[in-house]
Amino acid sequence: MRHREGLQEGDVLGGRYRISAVIGRGGMSTVYLAEDMRLPGKRRAVKESRLDPEQVGAGLEEAQMLIRLNHPNLPDIVDYYLEEQGGFSYLVMDYIEGETLLKRFERQGRRMTSDQVIDYALQLCELFEYLHSQKPEPIIYRDLKPANLMIDVQERLRLIDFGIARNYKPGQSADTLPIGTVGFAAPEQFEGRQTDERTDWYGLGALMYFLLSGGRYGHAACSDLREHDAGISESLAGLVEKLLQSEPDARCQNAAEVRLALQRALAEQGGRPSDAAGGRSARPAQPPRLVAVGALYGGAGATFAALALARALHALGVPHAAAEAPTQQAELYALLFGEKHAPAGYRCYNAAGADPAQRRQAEPLWADGCTLWLPSAPAAAERARAPAAARDDAPAGRWLSLLLQRELPPLLLVDIGAEWDRPDVRELLGKAQDIIYVVDPLIHKLDLPAVRNRLELLSMFRQAGKRVYGLANKAVSSGHTSQWLQVLPERPACLLPAIDFVKVAEANWFGQLVHDLPGVQQQLGRALQPWLRGWLQQGAAEGGGSGERVGIGGGTLRTLLQLWKNG
């Protein structure tokens, strides 16, 4: 039921979402709490926007923008409705337990510590790097303020309102409308000039000034932050001052520059050290936990399974890298549509002439939220198979050392395809702490001699103390599924569902991973989460409760377990 004045308590939107209460109002929008009648126990946030007739497309534009984005600091979009006759649009999102940054700020007596503000700023830095790297055009948010940021129960910021975000239009001298929030918007937003990535960096500076100064606005105060709090470090105050420059050319120009300055400020405050040479977080003292993912036979779907794991980890906010071992059929770059999505100047980790020390400073990382993509250069496999005497100085034969010398997140997934018998892959398996093998319903392949040899190899690895898991891929709903599972070498850790090939084809046509389609993402998440929960809990137990044995900090591990408990 819909009312011309908007939704009321007890109304049902789209035959599915029963309105429970109003949880926020502002401007032309109202946000409701709703119960999902199709999924009992699930609560949703419904954003109702009143649209003028000429703005009917604005709500749809916001919905389309959010639907194609996937980042742990953004809300998950569930549904969208456009009521043209009533002049309303409805965006249905997962309900985020927590409070706005503005409410937290006021609850703390309108003062936040430098460490708190730096932590929030680093999260926003990662988010803006993701938004600004969108192809074909960067997304400029333009409305960063405490009321538009939620803090969830894991202390993670969530950007909740994309009403005035826009795609950057190269060559355009001015925006269509000069809009923004006074006190947080950059000067160009009110002067009829074009906004770009640097507009968001001004917004970050304005937000930091507000939080550190007790609620003052940077554009009006015209004073150094240290006049309000002598405990603020000189480097932090200097960064905020640079971000608040009226001319975009005088501000920080990109995420790498902002991140480096924040890390230096945190180090000066006595927080975790910065990596001055690389401009990114310093590498942990321990190497990443190495997880090899391989198909027991060709066609079982090692790459699909590795990508499913990567996107499930991303959805949970776990930093990780997903790499591909060099093979003659190396396809990760193409599968991810690298020509469209890879950052400008990107090179594969094993490209000829690579020098890890130099690359940390000069070459961009291909980050997608919590996932660091590391595709292989396809030609490297042929060189890796060649006799040593026939190789030149290119890194084809030393891809593993090049990979492990990089600056990496605490968890590294490596897709080895079905190349178990290569010497370089055997070296990788020897270093891996966890080995995941993938099978599918074609059980006749289990009788192949090569498969029997690989099962013996896996048994040896298990006896040596490695953790070995089987994943059953392309699982179909059948009355005979139990017979299939009984034939497998062991009960699989989880069953990855067979994905409708129409969805696979359509995702490919539109240049995206099928794993990132909302419906598919949910299917794979439901399949993987029980196993991931056990994997993390086992790692925590082995590491004395800290999660160190799985390469994941205890705080992150607790966050994940809380997510499962709540979800």
Integer Rg of the chain from CA: 25
Could you write out the three-class secondary structure of 60-78?
HHHHHHHHCCCCCCCCCEE
Sequence-ordered list of residues with C-beta below 8 angstroms from that of 91, at least 6 positions apart, any chain: 46, 47, 49, 59, 62, 63, 66, 77, 79, 80
Contact (CB, 8 A) for 133 and 343: yes
Q: Give the three-class secondary structure for 33.
A: strand
Q: Which residues pair with 45 in a beta bridge?
A: 33, 93
Contact (CB, 8 A) for 320 and 371: yes
User: CA–CA separation, 373 vs 371, rounded Å?
Assistant: 6
Beta strands in 155-314 (DSSP E): 157-159, 166-167, 289-295
**Main-chain dihedrals φ then ψ at residue 289, nearest 5 degrees:** -75, 125
Q: Which of 381, 452, 389 is nearest to 417 (CA)?
A: 381
Tokens of 329: 């059929």
User: CA–CA separation, 515 vs 504, rounded Å?
Assistant: 9
Q: Which of 492, 325, 290, 490 is nearest to 421 (CA)?
A: 325
User: CA–CA separation, 295 vs 41, rounded Å?
Assistant: 38
Q: Is 474 annotated as a binding residue?
A: no
Beta strands in 204-317 (DSSP E): 289-295
Q: Which residues pair with 95 in a beta bridge?
A: none
Q: Which of 143, 126, 119, 125 is nearest to 212 (CA)?
A: 119
**Main-chain dihedrals φ then ψ at residue 43, nearest 5 degrees:** -105, 145
- The annotation places the binding site at 47
- The annotation places the binding site for ATP at 47
